[in-house]
Amino acid sequence: MRIHLLDTIVIVLYFVFTLWLGIWVSKKNKNTESYFLGKRNFPGWAIGVSFIGAMISSITFIAIPADSFKTAWVRFLPNLAFPLVVLISVYFFLPFFRRGTVTSAYEYLALRFGPSISAYGATVYLVAQIIRTATVVYLMAVLMAAMTGISIEWSILLAGGITAIYTVKGGFEAVVWTDVIQTVILVVGALVIIAFAIAHIPGGLRTVITEAGAAQKLSFYDLNQATGNLEPTRGGFSFTEKTTIMLMLVGFTQYIAGKLNQETVQRWCASSSAREAKKSMLVLGVGSIPIWASFMFMGTCLWVYYQHFSDPIADAILAGTQKAESILPHFIITALPNGFIGLVISAALAAAMSTLSSGINSASMVLVQDIYKSHIIKNKGERHYFMASRLSSLLISVLMIAGAFLFHYSNTKTINEFSIIITAVIGGGIAGAFLLGMFTRRGDARAVMAGILATVLFSSYAMLMQFDVFPRVFDPYYTSIIGNIVMIGVGYGASWIFKAPARDLTNLTVWDSSKESLV
């Protein structure tokens, strides 16, 4: 389809402003530290908003409303564990990376367990980031093409290319400040959709609450695929079915892992002080739950809206004959007035681009600091590594865009499955390795590698179980929980076999922190 000239102007202005901001801040980059950490003078509120922007991708923008439109709020349960993860991060994880000892998550692994574990963790992170950013670019391009009429190829080049330009040029400074603007835009876009839907529903918000409540659309019910009815999600512990407690444990495990990767550590280290780093986590903790809830509520509002204004696309989605992810793009194009369509499309692009810019810069930092500088070219000057930093960002961007084209020209279902399998298998155990290092005094590279190997084998079994090669003995949702238990259990057990020599562990475990104040 072709969108109105006014919407086109809004989208073009968004692209131009974002590109200008990224290039403008690039003047501040003089060395690798400024390129990857700014000047370490970011205020906590900006880092916190940047955290939020990086966590909300176009997948979130489209998939969360689609899920609550089709089902209810059961998949909001994992998010309820996030405040606890924030508290743990502030009191246990953040201190490790604010004492001036490290600037990279994988530098910590090198100090605690040796260069081999660090190199493995860094390589896994790079592979995962390239797959993740390529997926986001492709899905963003599909969304952009559906709503603007531009081809998917040009959509990949436009949105992916512009993100690459300002990220490669501007470095981390550009990432943070464009994240701030993009987060504001995506939140405004979400509120516009909710407000417009409520304003056109007879009775407004009261009708939404009444009708959605009566249909259990605001509950933690889940859809029974066999009957097509919403049914209560039971409580308790179970590895064979979804329960409220287990879903929150899934969220806890996944968010803990997210706080032990480079994107998080990089932001903590870039804050102007430990106090500002803690403020960033407060902003993240306070802001994330309401934003996630607003996207869930958006889907609920759309369900009520289409109960009053019958639509064949909405009916097909609820009947299960069309994918739920098409509901929001359909509503944007058919229900919003001109001008607002451009704003909301810009919000969807902002959701994706904030995720992409953060992924490119953090992956580039890992490539230069933890692989290139540590294992390939060790003794060059600052100018060499600064140039390598920009070239690595360019390389990550090219691989990201190439991956998006690969998704487009191939069987996307097969590639998505392949990427999920590869990421899950090779990534098994990394979060567990951090936890083993931080919360115990035991283990060296041999013990950790034994744990990683056991986790890789377990993850491989779990994936084969999903394809019915092996009998299904637990729900695939719980793979991450069990995998980290395997990693920590085997790693700790192996540490009694592979005796590690006595060494100074100051600032490398929670039990051996120095008395110095955090910087």
Question: Which of 197, 206, 194 minimizes the C-alpha distance to 306?
Answer: 197
Mean per-residue pLDDT, 275-302: 94
Q: For residues 410 and 260, which has the higher predicted lDDT (pLDDT)?
A: 260
> 436: pLDDT confidence band, cut at 50, 70 and 90?
very high
DSSP symbol at 478: G
Mean per-residue pLDDT, 112-125: 90
Mean per-residue pLDDT, 391-411: 89
Cα separation, 486 vs 436, in Å, equals 11
Q: What is the sign, positive or negative, of the torsion defined by CA atoms of 409, 415, 419, 425?
A: negative
User: Is the pLDDT at 517 greater than 70, yes or no?
Assistant: no
Cα separation, 346 vs 348, in Å, equals 5
> 382: pLDDT confidence band, cut at 50, 70 and 90?
confident
**What does the DSSP assignment read for 16-82?**
HHHHHHHHHHGGG--SHHHHHHTTS-B-HHHHHHHHHHHH--HHHHHHHHHHHHHS-SGGGGGGGGH
Q: What is the sign, positive or negative, of the torsion defined by CA atoms of 365, 371, 376, 381?
A: positive
* Length reported for the chain: 519
Cα separation, 344 vs 351, in Å, equals 11
Q: 5-99+121-367+380-409 is classed in which CATH architecture?
A: Up-down Bundle (1.20)
Note the pLDDT of residue 283. Answer: 95
> 473: pLDDT confidence band, cut at 50, 70 and 90?
confident
Question: Which of 41, 87, 46, 108 minimizes the C-alpha distance to 519?
Answer: 41
Question: Which of 460, 456, 442 minimizes the C-alpha distance to 484?
Answer: 456
- Residue 231's DSSP bridge partners are 222
Question: What residues contact residue 23 under an 8 Å CB cut-off, 6+ apart?
Answer: 165, 166, 169, 170, 174
pTM of full prediction above 0.75: yes
**Of the segments 228-242, 300-314, 423-437, which one has the largest average pLDDT value?**
300-314
Note the pLDDT of residue 471. Answer: 86
- In angstroms, how far is the first alpha carbon of the chain from the final one? 54
Question: Which of 423, 434, 488, 416 minimizes the C-alpha distance to 460?
Answer: 423
Cα separation, 68 vs 75, in Å, equals 8
Least confident of 36-50, 183-197, 250-264: 250-264
Domain boundaries, the chain: 5-99+121-367+380-409, 411-519
Q: CB-based burial of residue 193 (10 Å sphere; 0-12 exposed, 13-18 middle, 19+ buried)?
A: buried
> 412: pLDDT confidence band, cut at 50, 70 and 90?
low
- Mean pLDDT (the chain) is 86
Note the pLDDT of residue 309. Answer: 93
